[in-house]
């Protein structure tokens, strides 16, 4: 797929983050947020049986906060484990179990992270990862439709997903976003190293990457 380099991609991210800030303060935000949370509940009902450990994220820069919904799900399903990512220096992510009230340490990017040295919170290989999108796109190739995530540009998730998918072929990777974040080919197209999403959750519902 086509690549986009340099300032154009940087400015696209900056524009999207500025739009997200405005959107989070808009009158329509709460209804659309609630629609995504409703979709999350439906996802957990449909896919929960195959998920023992679920990795979420601590929201930054107006990302949608899923923590309350997921804590409620874990509380009512005591065999389920929640986890948070920890960014390693080699730009891969490790995941550690997380419970409400745990002390989190800001990373150099300002993301609250678990303490990897906490003996009460072991490292886990999640069955499902929820990933917030700065932007997203879709592509159709032959009879397959894929959804792609535009992130902050560090490449952490792509490296981690490539490794985890080799170890856990049934891993579910779910992008979290809104319809207005959809990008067309003129704005951004996924690169060869980008890992596709298995599902994309927006206010319109759950969109699977599957035969088209």
pLDDT greater than 80 at residue 97 = yes
CA distance 198 to 171: 9
Q: How confident is the model at residue 2 (pLDDT cuts 50, 70, 90)?
A: very low
pLDDT greater than 90 at residue 93 = yes
Q: What is the CATH number of domain 6-211?
A: 3.40.50.10420
pTM of the model: 0.92
Least trusted range by pLDDT, from 20-29, 91-100, 108-117: 108-117
> Residue ranges of the domains in the chain?
6-211
Pairing outcome for strands 93-97 and 123-124? antiparallel
Note the pLDDT of residue 168: 93
Write out the binding residues: 63
pLDDT in tens, 123-145: 999 999 999 999 999 998 888 88
pLDDT greater than 50 at residue 200 = yes
CA distance 188 to 9: 8
pLDDT in tens, 153-193: 888 999 999 999 999 999 999 999 999 999 999 999 998 88
The overall average pLDDT reported for the chain is 92
3-state secondary structure of 3: coil
pLDDT greater than 70 at residue 6 = no
Across residues 8-26, what is the average pLDDT?
A: 95
Across residues 115-123, what is the average pLDDT?
A: 91
Q: How confident is the model at residue 3 (pLDDT cuts 50, 70, 90)?
A: very low
pLDDT greater than 50 at residue 147 = yes
Note the pLDDT of residue 4: 47
Note the pLDDT of residue 103: 86
- Dihedrals φ, ψ of 43, to 5°? -60, -45
The residue with greater pLDDT, 112 or 3, is 112
Q: How far is CA 110 from the centre of its chain?
A: 17
Write out the binding residues for substrate: 63
Q: Are 190 and 1 in contact (CB under 8 A)?
A: yes
């Amino acid at each position: 797929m086509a690549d986009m380099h340099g300032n154009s991609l940087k400015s696209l991210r900056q524009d999207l983050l500025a739009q997200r800030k405005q959107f989070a303060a808009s009158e329509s935000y709460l209804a659309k947020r609630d629609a995504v949370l409703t979709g999350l509940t439906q996802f957990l009902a449909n896919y929960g049986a195959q998920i023992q450990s679920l990795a979420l994220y601590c929201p930054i820069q107006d990302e949608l906060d899923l923590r309350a919904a997921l804590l409620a799900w874990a509380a009512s399903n005591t065999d389920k484990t929640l986890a948070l990512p920890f960014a390693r220096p080699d730009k891969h992510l490790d995941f550690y179990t997380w419970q409400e009230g745990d002390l989190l340490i800001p990373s150099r990017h300002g993301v609250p992270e678990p303490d990897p040295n906490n003996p009460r919170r072991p490292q886990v290989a999640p069955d499902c990862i929820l990933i917030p999108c700065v932007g997203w796109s879709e592509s159709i190739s032959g009879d397959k439709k894929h959804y792609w995530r535009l992130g902050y540009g560090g490449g952490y998730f792509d490296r981690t997903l490539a490794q985890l998918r080799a170890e856990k072929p049934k891993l579910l990777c779910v992008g979290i976003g809104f319809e207005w974040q959809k990008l067309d080919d003129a704005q951004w197209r996924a690169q060869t190293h980008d890992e596709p999403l298995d599902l994309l959750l927006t206010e319109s519902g759950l969109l699977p990457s599957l035969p088209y």
